[in-house]
Amino acid sequence: MSGQGGVELAGFWPRVAAQILDAAWMIPVGLVLVLLGDFARGGRGLSPGSDILLQLISALLIILFWASRQATPGKMLMRLRVIDAETGGTPPWPRLVARYFGYILSSIPLGLGYLWMLWDPRRQCWHDRIARTLVVRDPLPR
């Protein structure tokens, strides 16, 4: 399916594969951070609130990838990009932050926000609609 400006909108399964690939690198990164935190506290476990810090670090990593490459490593491997739905360029930072927090909204009602793309004409999940982004096929390897 082609979107506006002749871009090819990403399908459901490539996006799922990108999420799985991203989990494959994010889980070990999170584990290393947990082990470092435990080591820093002398083996007494993580401090209260450290889970929030881990979530913030994860969010920052994802948003930095979107801002610098228009894709996370999983999306890059699947040749997908996150673009501004209006300009086709890189979405501005506030909208990338909104997109990240939109993931939470997309997942709350049994993942309905992720499945929304199956019947959305622009293949947008709720977080894409919130941030006014599209996920498209990248015709050129990066």
pLDDT at residue 53 greater than cutoff 60: yes
Q: Stretch 109-116: mean pLDDT, rounded?
A: 95
CA 81 remoteness from chain centre:
10
Q: In the block, which residue shows the tokens 């490593």?
A: 73
Instruction: Pinpoint the alpha helices (H) of 4-141.
Output: 12-40, 50-69, 73-77, 93-107, 112-115, 126-131
Q: What is the pTM of this model?
A: 0.87
Tokens of 106: 């997309």
| Mean pLDDT of all residues belonging to the chain | 91
Cα–Cα nearest to 134, from 77, 47, 66, 73? 66
Q: In the block, which residue shows the tokens 């982004």?
A: 133
Q: Each residue of 78-105: pLDDT tens digit?
A: 999 999 999 999 999 999 999 999 999 9
Q: Stretch 65-73: mean pLDDT, rounded?
A: 97
Q: Stretch 106-126: mean pLDDT, rounded?
A: 95
Q: Contact, 135 vs 102, CB < 8 A?
A: no
Where along the chain do its domains lie?
8-137
d(CA 79, CA 131): 21
d(CA 34, CA 98): 26
Per-residue model confidence (pLDDT) at position 68:
97
Per-residue model confidence (pLDDT) at position 54:
87
